[in-house]
Chain A
Amino acid sequence: MSLEKKIHDLNEKRRKAMLGGGEQAIEKQKAMGKRTARERITDLLDKDSFTEYDMFVEHEARDFDMDKKVLPGDGVVIGTGTIYGAPVAVFAQDFTVAGGSLGLAHARKITKIMDHALRMRMPLIGINDSGGARIQEGVNSLYGYGEIFFRNTLASGVIPQISVILGPCAGGAVYSPALTDFVFVVENISKMFITGPEVIKTVLGEEISMEDLGGARVHSEVSGNAHFFAKTEEECFEQIRKLITYIPWDNTRKARMFEPAEPKPGFDVGKIVSDDPTMPYDVKDLIRAIADNSDFLEIQEMYARNIVIGFGRLGGRTTGFVANQPNEMAGVLDVDSSDKAARFIRYCDAFNIPIVTLVDVPGYLPGIDQEHAGVIRHGAKILYSYSEATVPKITVIIRKAYGGGYIAMASRHLRADFVFAWPTAEIAVMGPEGAANIIFRKEITSAENPEEMRKKKVQEYKEKFANPYVAASKGYVDAVIEPSETRKMLLHALDVTENKSIPRPHKKHGIPPF
């Protein structure tokens, strides 16, 4: 055979492989509003940066006439490319080939690219679009999932792992995304659940649609399993590309530096917050008033909105922001917000991202449902993750910082490197009303006019303790600053903590209150 013929054959083989499940299956995929696996990779990565591996991998299954079935690439595309120049490893399940079902060869391709990402120290992005285990391959497909989960765990905290749910991801398959750092979902396309609507109907007699059970919105708003919500695949890829700019390639590096940029003039840090601690405001405005170019990439925007987490930059450095949100549930800590913040703090710590905490917290949410849901255990996650974190921790107390909430929100006592407080800060064991009711109970109840006495005592307590100066007098606050000085002080703190290094007692790992 001539060289020309051999090259021709190669190109013919490539062409066939690239067609995946064939034109009919591609048409079906498109009708669902979905792109093909290779289109998705192309759209996600820098132009012409993708190199595919294992295009000609075939399965070796024999049972149930599988030996007669040709599954191009075994239903998954793997390779490497770049996003804004950063190297990334990618796999994308191809729903047009046997519904993207996971068999042995399919799993081996995924684990191969995972091993590659871990060895070469680059982020891993997995695009999930699969009907689940390839039943014909039996226990081999279970082996495949197990091998993937194991590698997800091994890679956790070493390289960034991103999961993109662009189709069904059901049963055991959902546990790979669950083990990764960030899960991206798209409305009407993503479907994640352990047991689907049919099983729920036959076993339990309860009817629910796929979207209501495990659609993008449910996982973004209710379950908290998803971190980024998009309306279209395009928007989703834009979100991923943006995220990649904020995070390092692996845990031995820092995120890339950007040109420092002042916040946009539309955000005036001095005009956002009322000095009355009971009045709401949007803390995201405050973050934008502080961050470079007023850019803020929020994570889990719709879930546990009483706490805000996400990435911004200060002086060109990636910074993780954690902030109580007075606009929602008065910014209380509760089961869900503790869980949300704690995981993010651990992410920042694992990947050398300094944490800026903006505090305006009335405490933990009282309630039977909270107690029964384990607010003790979940609330402890925040204490654990802040205490454990060795990255720079800089805290700004905006207004109220009461009781356990004060301690939990990156206080000096959990080893914040810097604690700044605005003059509006109230660092106290609890709010003046509650404190006065307890301390002056006798005076109030025995007074001729208890209500008047109560008001008087609340006022007394406010004047004496509802300020930053008691804490500042003990050195728990390093500086009381004007709101307009906030950015300057944060930049200073980040400069000082640039080479922070603190020893910790040796351990295999801690036992966080999962």
Chain B
Amino acid sequence: MEEKEEYKTLNINSTLYKTRLSKKFENRKPFKPADPCLVRSFIPGTVVDVLVKEGSELKHGDVVIILDAMKMQNRLKTHVDGRVKRINVKSGDRVTKGAVLLEMERVAGPEAEDSEES
């Protein structure tokens, strides 16, 4: 009868079912839309070079960081027009996948809006 305690409630199309939940389901992460102002490492690797400084004014598509991963020098770009707000890494740093390497802030103005989509 101890089994019964494992049962939880799962809502599928408004019907509530008594059932066990899988680890995968219980550990699922809430969805967060990507913030275009953050430059993240899309792959784990080592920062080879930071090409900009805090306060630099950049255009969408400008290369900001060179990340060495899988024997490739990957060029990471900004996805917005704006100013570099913070740089979280320096050359030589090893970074995990998804780490925020650099933060941008948008500069007010109509063009910034235009190039948001990448």
- The interface of chain A, by Cβ under 8 A from chain B, is 203-206, 277-280, 304-306, 326-332, 336, 362-363, 365-369, 372, 402-403, 430-434, 437
In this complex, the member of A280, A306, A365 whose beta carbon has the largest number of chain B beta carbons within 10 angstroms is A280
Q: Can you add 9 more A-B contacts, CB < 8 Å, to A203-B70, A328-B20?
A: A203-B69, A305-B20, A326-B17, A329-B22, A330-B19, A403-B13, A431-B12, A431-B14, A433-B14
Asked if B13 contacts A206 (CB within 8 A), the reply is no
Tell which of A204, A280, A402, A434 touches B19, judged by Cβ atoms closer than 8 Å. Answer: A280
In whole Å, how far is B2's beta carbon from the nearest beta carbon of chain A? 14
Is the C-beta of B44 less than 8 angstroms from some C-beta in chain A? Answer: yes
Asked if A362 contacts B12 (CB within 8 A), the reply is yes
- Chain A: which residue is nearest B94 at the CB level? A205
Asked if A278 contacts B31 (CB within 8 A), the reply is no
Asked if A280 contacts B18 (CB within 8 A), the reply is yes
- Chain B: which residue is nearest A405 at the CB level? B12
Asked if A330 contacts B17 (CB within 8 A), the reply is yes
Given the interface pairs A363-B13, A437-B14, the reply to whether A329 lies near B19 with Cβ below 8 Å is: yes
Asked if A363 contacts B19 (CB within 8 A), the reply is no
Asked if A434 contacts B13 (CB within 8 A), the reply is yes
Residues of the B chain whose Cβ atoms lie less than 8 Å from the Cβ of A306 = 22
Residues of the A chain whose Cβ atoms lie less than 8 Å from the Cβ of B28 = 367, 369
Bound state CA distance, A277 and B69, in angstroms?
51
Bound state CA distance, A27 and B13, in angstroms?
59
Asked if B13 contacts A203 (CB within 8 A), the reply is no
Asked if B17 contacts A278 (CB within 8 A), the reply is yes
Is the C-beta of B15 less than 8 angstroms from some C-beta in chain A? Answer: yes
In this complex, the member of B20, B22, B25, B28 whose beta carbon has the largest number of chain A beta carbons within 10 angstroms is B22
What 6 pairs across the A-B complex have the smallest Cβ distances? A434-B13, A330-B17, A431-B15, A433-B14, A204-B44, A330-B19
Residues of the A chain whose Cβ atoms lie less than 8 Å from the Cβ of B94 = 205
Bound state CA distance, A363 and B13, in angstroms?
9
Q: List 7 A-B contacts (CB under 8 A).
A: A204-B44, A205-B94, A278-B15, A327-B19, A328-B20, A365-B12, A366-B12
Bound state CA distance, A430 and B25, in angstroms?
22
Bound state CA distance, A433 and B17, in angstroms?
12
In whole Å, how far is B64's beta carbon from the nearest beta carbon of chain A? 21
In whole Å, how far is B95's beta carbon from the nearest beta carbon of chain A? 8
Residues of the B chain whose Cβ atoms lie less than 8 Å from the Cβ of A277 = 15
- Chain A: which residue is nearest B12 at the CB level? A362
Q: Mark B84-117, 1 if CB is under 8 A from A, else 0.
A: 0000000000101100000000000000000000
Residues of the B chain whose Cβ atoms lie less than 8 Å from the Cβ of A363 = 12-13
* Size bin of chain B's contact surface: 20 to 34
Q: Mark B1-32, 1 if CB is under 8 A from A, else 0.
A: 00000010010111111111110110011010
Residues of the A chain whose Cβ atoms lie less than 8 Å from the Cβ of B69 = 203
In whole Å, how far is A96's beta carbon from the nearest beta carbon of chain B? 35
In whole Å, how far is A293's beta carbon from the nearest beta carbon of chain B? 25
Asked if B13 contacts A205 (CB within 8 A), the reply is no
Asked if A305 contacts B22 (CB within 8 A), the reply is yes
Residues of the B chain whose Cβ atoms lie less than 8 Å from the Cβ of A280 = 7, 17-20
Given the interface pairs A329-B25, A368-B31, the reply to whether A362 lies near B15 with Cβ below 8 Å is: yes
Tell which of B12, B16, B96 touches A332, judged by Cβ atoms closer than 8 Å. Answer: B12
In this complex, the member of B12, B15, B17, B69 whose beta carbon has the largest number of chain A beta carbons within 10 angstroms is B12
Residues of the A chain whose Cβ atoms lie less than 8 Å from the Cβ of B7 = 280
Given the interface pairs A203-B44, A205-B44, the reply to whether A329 lies near B20 with Cβ below 8 Å is: yes
- Chain B: which residue is nearest A282 at the CB level? B3
In whole Å, how far is B100's beta carbon from the nearest beta carbon of chain A? 17
Residues of the A chain whose Cβ atoms lie less than 8 Å from the Cβ of B45 = 204
Asked if B22 contacts A362 (CB within 8 A), the reply is no
Bound state CA distance, A503 and B97, in angstroms?
51
Asked if A279 contacts B18 (CB within 8 A), the reply is yes
Residues of the A chain whose Cβ atoms lie less than 8 Å from the Cβ of B25 = 329, 365
Given the interface pairs A280-B7, A369-B28, the reply to whether A328 lies near B19 with Cβ below 8 Å is: yes
- Chain B: which residue is nearest A304 at the CB level? B22
- Chain B: which residue is nearest A366 at the CB level? B12
Residues of the A chain whose Cβ atoms lie less than 8 Å from the Cβ of B97 = 204
Q: Mark B33-54, 1 if CB is under 8 A from A, else 0.
A: 0000000000011000000000
Bound state CA distance, A278 and B7, in angstroms?
11
Asked if A204 contacts B96 (CB within 8 A), the reply is yes
Residues of the B chain whose Cβ atoms lie less than 8 Å from the Cβ of A432 = 15
Asked if B17 contacts A434 (CB within 8 A), the reply is no
Bound state CA distance, A403 and B10, in angstroms?
17
Given the interface pairs A326-B19, A328-B19, A329-B20, the reply to whether A434 lies near B14 with Cβ below 8 Å is: yes
Bound state CA distance, A305 and B23, in angstroms?
11
In whole Å, how far is B72's beta carbon from the nearest beta carbon of chain A? 12
Asked if B22 contacts A431 (CB within 8 A), the reply is no
Given the interface pairs A280-B18, A280-B20, A306-B22, the reply to whether A330 lies near B96 with Cβ below 8 Å is: no
Asked if A278 contacts B18 (CB within 8 A), the reply is yes
Residues of the A chain whose Cβ atoms lie less than 8 Å from the Cβ of B15 = 277-278, 362, 431-434
Residues of the B chain whose Cβ atoms lie less than 8 Å from the Cβ of A326 = 17, 19
In whole Å, how far is A275's beta carbon from the nearest beta carbon of chain B? 14
Asked if B18 contacts A362 (CB within 8 A), the reply is no
In whole Å, how far is B50's beta carbon from the nearest beta carbon of chain A? 19
In whole Å, how far is A225's beta carbon from the nearest beta carbon of chain B? 16
Residues of the A chain whose Cβ atoms lie less than 8 Å from the Cβ of B22 = 304-306, 328-329
Asked if B44 contacts A206 (CB within 8 A), the reply is yes
Residues of the B chain whose Cβ atoms lie less than 8 Å from the Cβ of A365 = 12, 25
Bound state CA distance, A334 and B21, in angstroms?
13
Residues of the A chain whose Cβ atoms lie less than 8 Å from the Cβ of B10 = 329-330, 332
Bound state CA distance, A206 and B24, in angstroms?
21
In whole Å, how far is A97's beta carbon from the nearest beta carbon of chain B? 33
